[in-house]
């Protein structure tokens, strides 16, 4: 494990933010292998890789989306990021929360307009309402839908962490 700053040590932050989205192709031993050199951050052409409070690389989807170009992997000298053709870049999927304008009766399709994978569809509910639905198999977790959302109702997180109550809200309309 790399050196921990005094600030982070006194706050018990030894491994970085546990909720942070790490760059694609992060290995299971990421926290041990990453030396927090910042090369992946500098190599990212989309400029979406930042550092969390402990100095580990973190993806900021408010700044843009991941194109899966693997520049971060190529820049990583420690093996904390390893591109494997057999493995998906990450197990992340977009999740639309209950604050979504369309869920609340306001016509908004900004997220769908920004989704190149066309994973976000809108199901008609009648009376001019449309319900956003994410096709999990199509969603790459790139985050293109996150930044443009005017109410910040979209997050990208591990697929199994989607909250059941949010799925029920989206399903009920």
Q: What is the CATH number of the domain that holds 71?
A: 3.30.70.20
* Cα distance between residue 134 and residue 114, in whole Å: 13
Indicate whether 54 and 96 sit together in one domain.
no
Same structural domain, 133 and 102: yes
What would the mean pLDDT of 103-117 be, rounded to a whole number? 93
Q: Are 101 and 173 in contact (CB under 8 A)?
A: no
Question: Is residue 80 in some structural domain?
Answer: no
Is the model's pLDDT at 137 over the cut of 80? yes
Domain region containing 119: 92-172
Residue 86 lies in a domain: no
Whether 143 is in a domain gets the answer yes
Average pLDDT of the residues of the chain: 85
User: Residue 157's pLDDT is what?
Assistant: 86
Q: What is the total count of domains within the chain?
A: 2
Report pLDDT for 75: 97
- Say if residue 23's pLDDT is above 90: yes
pLDDT at position 13 is 56
Q: Are residues 63 and 114 in the same domain?
A: no
Find the angle CA(144)-CA(170)-CA(168) to the nearest 5 degrees.
130
* Residues 57 and 118 both lie in one domain: no
Rounded distance, CA 142 to CA 23, Å?
11
SS3 114: helix
Give the domain CATH number at 163. Answer: 3.30.70.3270
The pLDDT value recorded for residue 9 is 63
């Amino acid at each position: 494990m790399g050196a921990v700053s005094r600030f982070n040590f006194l706050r018990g932050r030894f491994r970085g933010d546990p909720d942070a989205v790490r760059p694609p192709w992060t290995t299971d031993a990421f926290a041990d292998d990453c030396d927090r050199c910042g090369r992946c951050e500098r190599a990212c052409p989309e400029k979406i890789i930042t550092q969390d409070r402990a100095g580990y690389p973190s993806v900021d989807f408010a700044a843009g989306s991941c194109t899966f170009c693997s520049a971060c992997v190529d820049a990583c000298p420690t093996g904390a990021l390893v591109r494997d053709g057999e493995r998906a870049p990450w197990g992340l999927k977009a999740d639309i929360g209950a604050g979504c304008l369309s869920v609340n009766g306001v016509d908004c399709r900004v997220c769908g307009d920004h989704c190149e994978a066309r994973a976000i569809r809108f199901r008609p509910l009648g009376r001019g309402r449309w319900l956003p639905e994410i096709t999990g198999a199509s969603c790459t977790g790139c985050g293109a839908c996150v930044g443009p959302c005017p109410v910040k109702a979209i997050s990208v997180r591990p697929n199994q962490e989607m909250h059941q109550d949010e799925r029920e809200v989206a399903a009920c309309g």
